């Protein structure tokens, strides 16, 4: 099982358990999180790249993985993704590099999955 499948499976299983627990605040937060990336004045691709950069500088590997899946799905090119990575690297510094390595590894697995 590749990283994509492992990430997706754990994410879905745990989100289900979290939401079943019945805490209304958490449930509403999850809904708000999803709505923030819906197209508005900015389109979905722009929003996913913004989410990707924010996740990268905060060094959240799972968040980066999620926004990479979404950004590719909304049509972001490799050049656009790497320019976003570059901004994240400059803003967040060398501590971002290990997360960048894992992001590039994940991106390569994603590329291998595209039909």
Residues that bind its own copies (CB under 8 A): 10-11, 14-15, 17-18, 21, 23-26, 28-30, 32-33, 35-37, 40-42, 46-47, 49-51, 53-63, 77-80, 82-98, 100-102, 104-105, 108
Say how many CA atoms lie within 13 Å of 59 toward its Cβ: 10
Instruction: Kindly state the smallest distance separating residue 52's Cβ from its own copies, in Å.
Output: 8
Q: How far apart are CA 80 and CA 42, in angstroms?
A: 16
Q: Closer to its own copies by CB, 29 or 113: give it.
A: 29
Nearest approach in angstroms of CB 115 to its own copies is 23
To the nearest whole angstrom, how small is the minimum distance from the Cβ of residue 69 to its own copies?
A: 14
Task: Find, among 14, 111, 8, the residue nearest to 62 by Cα.
Answer: 8
Residue bearing tokens 């993985």: 65
For residue 90, give both structure tokens: 């400059």
């Amino acid at each position: 099982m590749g990283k994509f499948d492992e990430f997706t499976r754990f994410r879905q299983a745990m989100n289900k358990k979290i939401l079943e627990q019945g805490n209304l605040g958490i449930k509403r937060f999850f809904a708000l999180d999803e709505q923030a990336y819906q197209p508005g004045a900015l389109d979905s691709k722009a929003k996913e790249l913004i989410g990707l950069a924010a996740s990268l500088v905060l060094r959240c590997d799972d968040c980066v993985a999620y926004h990479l899946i979404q950004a590719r799905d909304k049509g972001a090119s490799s050049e656009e993704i790497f320019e976003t990575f570059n901004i994240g690297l400059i803003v967040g510094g060398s501590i971002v590099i290990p997360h960048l390595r894992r992001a590039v590894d994940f991106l390569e697995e994603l590329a291998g999955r595209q039909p």
